[in-house]
Amino acid sequence: MNPEPRHNPTYDQPLKDFNVGQKTFADFDLKDRVFIVTGGSSGLGLELAEAVREAGGIVYCLNVSPEPSAEFIEAQKRSSTSSPSAGSLTYRQQDVADTEGLDRQIASIASAHARLDGVVAAVGIQQITPAAEYTIEDLNRIMAVNYAGVFMTATAAARQMFKHKCHGSMVFIASMSGCVANKGLISPAYNSSKAAVLQLARNLAMEWSPTREDGSGGIRVNCISPGHIMTPMVRKNFEEVPGLREKWESENMMGRLAETREFKGAALFLLSNASSFMTGSNLIMDGGHTAW
């Protein structure tokens, strides 16, 4: 049964005088906290993993590829030359569709540190196919990664956070495509999978945000819904659909596509004490695309 939130209110914000004259932006500090980022080998996932590492976090990037990407190796080199207060980046091969392996992987990470403070679920796949031509195999493949993969990542992480009594935060990378249909891009399975992620976050936030009598719980769950970003997946879309880039650039208020680095601050905000009273929310960052 879901706990009554008023019985054990969740307080994770620093004391009022915590950062007075001591440290700039202390509320965003993630030093020595442990995080998992799925889809963290490249693109947006890697960018957010680096942001957490820069804030002092110990970050494990999970991805299906047997070996880390060249992008990840470069990021790891940057990590090794950073200041001593910066965190670390570690790569682990893991398919989020392998639920048993995923559970073992996350349990192993939490056990090694006797804690787990949060998750960024950034893995996602795309398929451009008219709806009437989708097979059940196509649909199952998309949903296994984009929806079930997020669900199973979150539940595996939550079990460890409950076990170690770590209050923390989860950030799901949804999409404005979960709120509106993408003009010019026929991707019904992807769009509906992202809508499912938005609703999943609300339900998990309702269940996990209250603190339980044993001290567990206190897990905030929120989404970031990006607009069109220059990622490897989007570049592939441009190759498949001539004129799509120009169309998308003309449909937001800023007349351009986003870069992955523009989402770092939002992720740090949601993972840290800076957003201690925010759960079940969706942060839309789309250059104004859905506002007009």
Number of H helices and E strands in the chain, helices first, is 9, 7
Residue 120 in contact with residue 35, Cβ under 8 Å? yes
Give me the count of residues in the chain: 292
Beta strands in 55-103 (DSSP E): 58-63, 88-93
What the block records as the tokens of 125 is 């796949």
**Ramachandran assignment for 2, one of left (phi > 0), alpha (psi -120 to 50 degrees), beta (any other):** beta
Q: Are strands 219-226 and 168-173 parallel, antiparallel or unpaired?
A: parallel
3-state helix, strand, coil in the chain (%, to 5): 45, 15, 40
190 is catalytic: yes
What the block records as the tokens of 208 is 């996990």
What the block records as the tokens of 83 is 């200041």
DSSP symbol at 172? E
Catalytic residue from among 60, 91, 147, 194 = 194
For residues 36 and 52, what is the distance between their CA atoms, to the nearest angstrom?
A: 10
16 is catalytic: no
Catalytic residue from among 190, 236, 247, 264 = 190
CA dihedral over 125, 127, 132, 136, signed as positive or negative: negative
For residues 168 and 117, what is the distance between their CA atoms, to the nearest angstrom?
A: 5
3-class secondary-structure state, position 96: coil
* Per-residue b or e along 170-200, where b marks 16 or more CB atoms closer than 10 Å to that residue's CB: bbbbbbbbbbeebeebebbbbbbbbbbbbeb
For residues 30 and 195, what is the distance between their CA atoms, to the nearest angstrom?
A: 29
Which residues are designated catalytic? 190, 194
